[in-house]
Structure 1
Amino acid sequence: MKIAIIDYGAGNVKSIEFALQRLGFESELTSDSEVVKNADRVIFPGVGEASSAMNMLKNTGLDTLIPTLKQPVLGICLGMQLMCDVCEEGNTKGLGIFDAKVVKFDTQFKVPQVGWNTIFNLKSDLFKGIGENSYMYLVHSYYVPKHKSSIAASDYGIEYSVALHKNNFFGVQFHPEKSGKIGELILKNFIETSI
Structure 2
Amino acid sequence: MKQTIAVIDYGMGNLRSVTKALEHVAPDSRVLLTSDARQIEQADKVVFPGQGAMRDCMAELTTRGLRDAVHTTATDRPFLGICIGEQMLFEHSEEFDTPGLGILPGQVKRFPSDQMVDAQGQRLKVPHMGWSEVWHSRPHPLWHGIEDGARFYFVHSYFVTTPDTALTTGESTYPNRFTCAVGRNNLFATQFHPEKSHSAGLRLLSNFVAWNGQA
Q: Is the shorter-chain TM-score for this pair beyond 0.5, marking a shared fold?
A: yes
User: Does the CA contact (< 8 Å) of 1:17 and 1:26 recur in 2?
Assistant: no
Find the residue that maps to 1:144 and give its secondary structure.
strand
Structure 2 counterpart of 1:140: 156
Q: Give the letter aligned to residue 119 of structure 1.
A: V
For the residues of structure 1 that align with 2:136 and 2:210, how far apart are their CA atoms?
Answer: 21
TM-score (norm 2): 0.87
Residues 1:34 and 2:38 aligned together: yes
Structure 2 counterpart of 1:46: 50
For the residues of structure 2 that align with 1:21 and 1:190, how far apart are their CA atoms?
Answer: 12
Structure 1 counterpart of 2:136: 121
User: Does the CA contact (< 8 Å) of 1:145 and 1:159 recur in 2?
Assistant: no
Q: What is the CA distance between 1:64 and its match in structure 2?
A: 2.3
Farther-moved stretch of structure 1 (66-75 vs 134-143): 66-75
Structure 1 counterpart of 2:204: 186
Please, which runs of 5 or more residues in structure 1 have no aligned partner? none
Equivalences for 1:7-156 in 2 at 5 Å? 7-23=9-25, 24=27, 25-69=29-73, 70-108=76-114, 109=116, 110-123=125-138, 124-145=140-161, 147-148=164-165, 149-156=167-174
**Runs of at least 4 residues of structure 1 off by over 4 A?**
none
Find the residue that maps to 1:182 and give its secondary structure.
helix
Q: Give the letter aligned to residue 22 of structure 1.
A: H
Please, which runs of 5 or more residues in structure 2 have no aligned partner? 117-124
Q: What is the CA distance between 1:37 and its match in structure 2?
A: 0.3
For the residues of structure 2 that align with 1:75 and 1:131, how far apart are their CA atoms?
Answer: 21
Farther-moved stretch of structure 1 (162-171 vs 20-29): 20-29
Q: Give the letter aligned to residue 148 of structure 2.
A: E
For the residues of structure 2 that align with 1:162 and 1:138, how far apart are their CA atoms?
Answer: 9
Q: Deviations over 1:105-163 (max 9, x none)?
A: 01142200000000003421110011111000000000013651000000101111100
Q: Deviations over 1:39-72 (max 9, x none)?
A: 0111101101101110111112211221122111
For the residues of structure 2 that align with 1:45 and 1:171, how far apart are their CA atoms?
Answer: 9
User: Does the CA contact (< 8 Å) of 2:168 and 2:181 recur in 1?
Assistant: yes
Q: What is the CA distance between 1:26 and its match in structure 2?
A: 3.9
Q: Give the letter aligned to residue 28 of structure 1.
A: L
Q: How many pairs are equivalent?
A: 195
For the residues of structure 2 that align with 1:100 and 1:132, how far apart are their CA atoms?
Answer: 25
Q: Give the letter aligned to residue 97 of structure 1.
A: I
Q: Deviations over 1:59-94 (max 9, x none)?
A: 122112211221111110000000111111111111
User: Does the CA contact (< 8 Å) of 2:41 and 2:72 recur in 1?
Assistant: no
Find the residue that maps to 2:106 and give its secondary structure.
strand
Farther-moved stretch of structure 1 (51-60 vs 19-28): 19-28
Structure 1 counterpart of 2:122: none
TM-score (norm 1): 0.95
